[in-house]
Amino acid sequence: MSAGTPGMAVSLIEQCLNPAGDTELFSDRQWLQALLRFEVGLASAQAAAGLVPASAAAAIARACANLELDSADFIERARRTGAFGIGLVDPIRGMLARHDPDALPYLHWGTTTQDAVDTAHALLTKTALLAVLDELQGLVTALRTLAHTHAATPMMARSLLQPAQLTSFGFKCAQSAAALQRSVDQLRTLAPHALCVQLGGAVGNRAAMAHRAVQVELVLAAELGLWSCGQSWHTQRDAWTRLALEASVCAGSLSKLARDWSLMSQFEVGELAETPRGRTSSAMPHKRNSVHCMQVIAQTQPVPGLAASLLDAMTQAHERAMGEWHAELSSWAPLWRRVHGAAAAMRRAAEGLHVDAARMQSHIDALYEVIFSEACSDALTPIAGREAAQQAIEQLAPQALAQRQPLSALLQQWVEITHGTEQARAAAQALAAATDPQHAVRASAACCRELLRTLDAAVSSSCNLEPHHV
């Protein structure tokens, strides 16, 4: 455990790949605090329901406040018994035995250790989700700014990594912003169904608390800032897993954006560049690597495997899992840390991005109008017919590139030869409009602005992550 980051179970390499590596997520300290919060909240809620004496609840709260849980001792007890919660309950029991023995029968009453661990995990996941959402909202804001600025900035679209048609850089940014905003909205929608108190007791039927279990759960949820689902989810992990899967989908959107920008940042392309940060290579002082995009791709690369592990862990036998739940616990935190790290890196890339619009235009110009082949075909169809126009373009496009002549000029010559001078003059006017970048970019600019209007509405309607009863 690093002296600089007490309680952080994150490796040196993981921290190097996360520009927000000082954000504490799922640390040992947070785990122990969350487990103690569950025990205090449980006793308080049970006292409010008349199930335990108020004096016992107060004693349990004092014991938890004064208890110094030792992570090494917690780990050893869990290893020996196979029950995570015993590492929590036994030390509290010892504290009560020394100071408030009358409260001992009421500690952890009517519950099981998975109730404590799942509820604590929900608390830690809420913290992680808020951190992810904060980074995503910052990224969406930066992408929206880029989209507004470059809604009509022409650039070459690529299909199968080859020149396709004209689009705008703003439209690409708006598309990514929309995808990420959909994940934000979906994560907020799923949170109330996943970030719930777990209060099932030994086999999920709440037998000890009977009809008062509902009241206890509601009070406990309110105290902890979680939701109440009204039932046990010990081995029914659908809502819980669905939240992580949406985070995984978000990681895919982040990785796609980082991949596009890294390709556009290659020297041979040179359309984008991250904020200069000095030398980024130990051997080659001239290099200016796209560090944040690299971090995003590195962080998201293992996410599909982690998501698959969580899906596989759903096959939990009967009323308590025989190892699957424990496997879920080990895959859960790395997934959220990676999504958070990727969102943080992508936000920083977007906020400092340099866009070279002139370079984008130069790539369009270097294609000598062949990028406008579809528009040219449409322009010539009334004159020559679609089949003949397409055949002519197919034959003349390689010639335009080889001879470095505008495709429109070659097409105008072809029309003059095949259809006469009068038709050639009409073709020249139609082809001029078809090969005008500002005309061609209008469709992308319009789509960009429509997406921005949708995003504006989505952002304005976003809600927080606090249950109504809090």
Write the CA distances from 135 to 18, 35, 124, 132, integer angstroms.
12, 27, 17, 5
Q: Which residues of the chain have pLDDT under 50?
A: 1-7, 281, 470
> What is the domain class of 26-111+198-232 according to CATH?
mainly alpha
Q: How many residues does the chain have?
A: 470
CA pair distance 362, 339, nearest whole angstrom: 36
CA pair distance 329, 124, nearest whole angstrom: 12
CA pair distance 228, 5, nearest whole angstrom: 33
CA pair distance 100, 59, nearest whole angstrom: 6
- Residue whose structure tokens are 């917690």: 74
Give the β-pairing of 354-355 and 162-168.
Answer: unpaired
Q: Is 451 left (phi over 0), alpha (psi -120 to 50) or beta?
A: alpha
Locate 365 and state its tokens. 């110009």
What is the distance, to the nearest Å, from the Cα of residue 359 to the centroid of all Cα atoms in its chain?
A: 31
- The amino acid at residue 5 is T
Residue by residue, DSSP assigns 279-332 as ---SS-TT----HHHHHHHHHHTTHHHHHHHHHHTT---TTS-SSHHHHHHHHH
- Which pLDDT score, from 0 to 100, does residue 470 have? 44
* Sequence-distant (≥ 6) Cβ neighbours of residue 362 within 8 angstroms: none
What is the distance, to the nearest Å, from the Cα of residue 226 to the centroid of all Cα atoms in its chain?
A: 21
Helix (H, G, I), strand (E, B) or coil at 174: helix
CA pair distance 424, 464, nearest whole angstrom: 62
CA pair distance 448, 150, nearest whole angstrom: 9
What sign for the dihedral angle of Cα 306, 312, 314, 318?
A: negative
User: Where do runs of H (alpha helix) occur along 17-112?
Assistant: 28-48, 54-66, 71-81, 86-99
- The amino acid at residue 20 is A
pTM: 0.93
CB 51 within 8 Å of CB 216 = yes
CA pair distance 48, 184, nearest whole angstrom: 36
Q: Catalytic amino acids?
A: 281, 320
CA pair distance 290, 349, nearest whole angstrom: 8
Q: Can you name the residues that pair with 200 across neighbouring β-strands?
A: none
- The amino acid at residue 362 is S
* Residue 156 host element (H or E): strand 154-159
- Which pLDDT score, from 0 to 100, does residue 63 have? 97
Locate 93 and state its tokens. 């029991």
CATH architecture type of domain 113-196+234-362+448-460: Up-down Bundle (1.20)
- Residue whose structure tokens are 């949406």: 246
